Structure 1
Amino acid sequence: MERARGAGSGPNGDPRAGKPGAHLMAELEWVHNAIRHDLKVCESLAEAVASGAETGFVEARIEDLKNNSVLWRLRVSCLTYCRFVHLHHYNEDVNIFPALRRSNPGLAPVVDRLEADHRRVSELLDKIEAAARALALSDGTIERTRLSDALGDLGGYLLDHLAFEERAIAPTVLEWESWPGH
């Protein structure tokens, strides 16, 4: 016999599904998945640039990103993509992480690591921004290599960070009865 779901229960009667924490985790995972997808596309494009891809090919891939990527449809370019990640991490730093520390003091070492990750990601994003600006000024092999290397460095680090963050904070966030700050 199927168990009746109460008000605020989610699929399979999970009482956490209706809580703000469940919505927050779903939103966090959506943003992280959009970042993952576009990062993979950008890395592939960077490899093509470093390999000397024809300008027409690069332009076509960028146009495809503009038309099909959630982030690029929002008029995101390489530089504003970096700003998007900066802003996402800033929001976590000032809203989510303090709430995690209050609601689960045992997560302090995890939050410390996440904050350190954010600082490292910020440094990597700054390198990408500088490399993209340099490439715009001088389309040479050195500039292409710097951008490709910077995107590669960010890719591995950021993907590991996103996976760790989701695993580490989900149990606590899913229990939240209200949004941080409310």
Structure 2
Amino acid sequence: MGDVTEAQRQAGRHLAAIHRHYLSDLSQIAQVMTRIEAGDAPPAELAHIVLHSQMAQNFAAAGTLCGQQCWALTMHHNIEEQSIFPQLHARGSEPVRAIVDRLRAEHEVVHALLERLGAAAGGLSEAPSSEQFAETRAIFDQLVAVVRSHFKFEETALAEALGVYQVDI
């Protein structure tokens, strides 16, 4: 974006720190899934962690796919969808608006995967089986890949734009 000051880069660093929190929650779920694969943890523990972790609440509750029927918007997506993205869309260049549009579409993919993961984890706790676990693990692995990619793109593409267009995080 040309000449960008260190102060302008700070907003992008703040966003990255928020993302590290969500990745930490994913890591906790991965640890539990690994314990389940090794036979060290009951499937019900996975369901509890998936359905009650901060990450799951922050993403699954936001509900762009379930529309107004979802019970709440989470702070992370509320800030992005209701504040950060509109500001960037209004103030940003055409390339920045295209980035925002892509990120919004990616949010929908994340929401869908979280809903599928929650349902699969619930099914796993109700009727544990190797097949149900394999399905849950596959959805989880897909979610992790999508979230990591989404965060990396968002952090890279918006790192300077957030500060240049004076969007508070």
Identity %: 23
What's the CA shift for 1:97?
A: 0.5
Partner of 1:40: 27
Structure with the greater alpha carbon radius of gyration? 1
Matches of 2:167 and 2:119, distance apart in 1: 40
What's the CA shift for 1:139?
A: 1.8
For the 8 Å contact 1:16–1:175, the answer to whether it is kept is: no
For the 8 Å contact 1:46–1:151, the answer to whether it is kept is: no
Report the TM-score when normalising by structure 1: 0.69
Give the alignment partner of residue 158 of structure 2, picking from 160, 166, 169. 169
Instruction: Say if 2:94 is the partner of 1:122.
Output: no
What's the CA shift for 1:152?
A: 0.3
Give the alignment partner of residue 82 of structure 1, picking from 56, 64, 79. 56
For the 8 Å contact 1:132–1:147, the answer to whether it is kept is: yes
Q: Kindly tell me: are residues 167 and 178 of structure 1, through their superposed partners in 2, closer, same or farther at Cα, counting changes over 3 Å?
A: closer
What's the CA shift for 1:92?
A: 0.7
What's the CA shift for 1:161?
A: 0.4
What's the CA shift for 1:159?
A: 0.1
Q: How does 1:154-165 map onto structure 2 within 5 Å?
A: 154-165=143-154
Which letter does structure 2 place at the counterpart of 1:114? L
Q: How does 1:1-182 map onto structure 2 within 5 Å?
A: 16-17=6-7, 22=10, 24-49=11-36, 51-55=37-41, 77-80=49-52, 81-85=55-59, 86=62, 87=74, 88-106=76-94, 107-177=96-166, 179=168
For the 8 Å contact 1:40–1:155, the answer to whether it is kept is: no
Matches of 2:30 and 2:164, distance apart in 1: 36
Q: Kindly tell me: are residues 145 and 54 of structure 1, through their superposed partners in 2, closer, same or farther at Cα, counting changes over 3 Å?
A: same
Matches of 1:178 and 1:171, distance apart in 2: 10
Secondary structure class of the residue paired with 2:160: helix
For the 8 Å contact 2:26–2:144, the answer to whether it is kept is: yes
Partner of 2:66: none
Matches of 1:115 and 1:15, distance apart in 2: 27
For the 8 Å contact 1:46–1:147, the answer to whether it is kept is: no
Structure 1, gaps ≥5 residues long: 1-13, 63-75
Which letter does structure 1 place at the counterpart of 2:164? E
Q: Kindly tell me: are residues 177 and 96 of structure 1, through their superposed partners in 2, closer, same or farther at Cα, counting changes over 3 Å?
A: closer
Which letter does structure 2 place at the counterpart of 1:78? V
Matches of 1:53 and 1:140, distance apart in 2: 12
Matches of 2:133 and 2:168, distance apart in 1: 43
What's the CA shift for 1:127?
A: 0.7
Report the TM-score when normalising by structure 2: 0.74
